């Protein structure tokens, strides 16, 4: 009888543990609200995430993320992803709760994370010295160039598809631009959103210009696989579209919203 009672007790304890663990694992929202903050993974580039004159993070994505944090009734913490190629590792390891940084929706993203509905349109564009950019008409014309790209980015994929002389992966898109400015790379392939904000007259890269478009794409936010944050965010975004808040934010940063899905 004692053995039978012990067996019943063990079964009940195991069942209770599974039930409790299941509840805990099922809700990222609950975990974030318990912690009192959501940690958002970013890199530094305008117009999505960059620091203002007071050293505070601003930009379309930063402001969008703050609105979502307010909806969840938590604080926000920005975590700079030092190697964009490891963004999903940072997410899976729990160092961040979201990748929210002008992230292109790709097969890699949907395989390694739960991706939101798209929110902004983007392109991968060639950027180089303004007096040379018109000489390059298509991807095939890039074969003799050394091209800098952000490691692990959609720009890197676009560059590799073009098969130039050399692809140089660097830390982020800002570093890719610096490569071109310094003359250590002939060109870089970056997001059109950044190229528009950072090159041309009145910018730090006045002698650089955007050229051919290599890909058309959409931005999304990555959460962990199976996270309840994805559905929550999609519903929140739908409300911001409906009341005009998201369009106003896009207009402020000169961005084009993706079609609602």
Cα 108 from Cα 93, distance rounded (Å): 17
Residue 14 pLDDT: 44
Q: What is the mean pLDDT of residues 223-231?
A: 98
Q: Is the pLDDT of residue 208 over 90?
A: yes
Return the DSSP state at 198.
H
- Model confidence at 20, in pLDDT bands (50, 70, 90)? very low
pLDDT greater than 70 at residue 11: no
The enclosing H or E element of 149 equals: strand 146-150
Q: Which two tokens stand for residue 235?
A: 């519903």
CA pair distance 104, 216, nearest whole angstrom: 10
Residue 203: CB atoms within 10 A of its CB come to: 13
In whole angstroms, what is the distance from residue 88 CA to residue 101 CA?
A: 13
98-104 and 120-129 as β-strands: parallel, antiparallel, unpaired? Answer: unpaired
* 151 φ/ψ angles, rounded to the nearest 5 degrees: -60, 130
Q: How much is the pTM? A: 0.83
Q: Provide the residue ranges of all domains of the chain, joining segments of one domain with +.
A: 28-120+219-252, 122-217
The pLDDT value recorded for residue 18 is 42
Q: In CATH, what number does 122-217 get?
A: 3.40.190.10
Residue 251 exposure: Cα atoms within 13 Å on the Cβ side: 6
Do 28-120+219-252 and 122-217 share a fold?
yes
pLDDT per position as a tens digit, 68-104: 999 999 999 999 999 999 999 999 999 999 999 999 9
- Upper half-sphere CA count for residue 243 (Cβ side, 13 Å): 6
Quick: pLDDT tens for 167-190: 999 999 999 999 999 999 999 999
6 pLDDT tier (thresholds 50, 70, 90): very low
**Cβ 239 vs Cβ 43: under 8 Å:** no
Q: Give the homologous superfamily in CATH for domain 28-120+219-252.
A: Periplasmic binding protein-like II (3.40.190.10)
Task: Tell which wins on pLDDT, 30 or 20.
Answer: 30
Give the pLDDT band of residue 26 (cuts 50, 70, 90): confident
| pLDDT of 139 strictly over 60 | yes
């Amino acid at each position: 009888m004692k053995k039978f009672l012990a067996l019943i007790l063990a079964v009940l304890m195991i069942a209770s543990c599974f039930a409790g663990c299941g509840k805990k694992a099922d809700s990222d929202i609950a975990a974030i609200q318990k912690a009192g903050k959501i940690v958002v993974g970013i890199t530094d580039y305008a117009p999505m995430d960059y620091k203002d004159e007071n050293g505070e993070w601003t930009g379309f994505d930063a402001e969008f993320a703050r609105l979502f944090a307010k909806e969840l009734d938590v604080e926000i913490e920005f975590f700079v992803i030092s190697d964009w190629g490891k963004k999903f590792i940072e997410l899976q390891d729990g160092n961040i709760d979201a990748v929210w940084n002008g992230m292109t929706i790709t097969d890699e993203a949907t395989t390694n994370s739960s991706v939101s509905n798209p929110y902004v349109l983007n392109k991968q564009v060639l950027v180089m010295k303004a007096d040379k950019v018109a000489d390059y008409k298509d991807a095939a014309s890039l074969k003799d160039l050394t091209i800098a790209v952000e490691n692990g980015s959609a720009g890197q994929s676009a560059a590799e598809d073009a098969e130039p002389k050399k692809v140089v992966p660097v830390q982020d898109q800002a570093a890719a631009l610096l490569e071109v400015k310094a003359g250590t790379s002939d060109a870089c392939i970056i997001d059109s959103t950044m190229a528009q904000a950072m090159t041309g007259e009145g910018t730090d890269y006045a002698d650089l210009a955007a050229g051919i478009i290599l890909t058309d794409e959409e931005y999304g936010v990555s959460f962990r696989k199976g996270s309840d944050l994805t559905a929550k965010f999609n519903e929140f975004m739908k409300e911001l579209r409906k009341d005009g808040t998201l369009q106003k934010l896009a207009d402020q940063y000169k961005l084009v919203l993706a079609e609602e899905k």
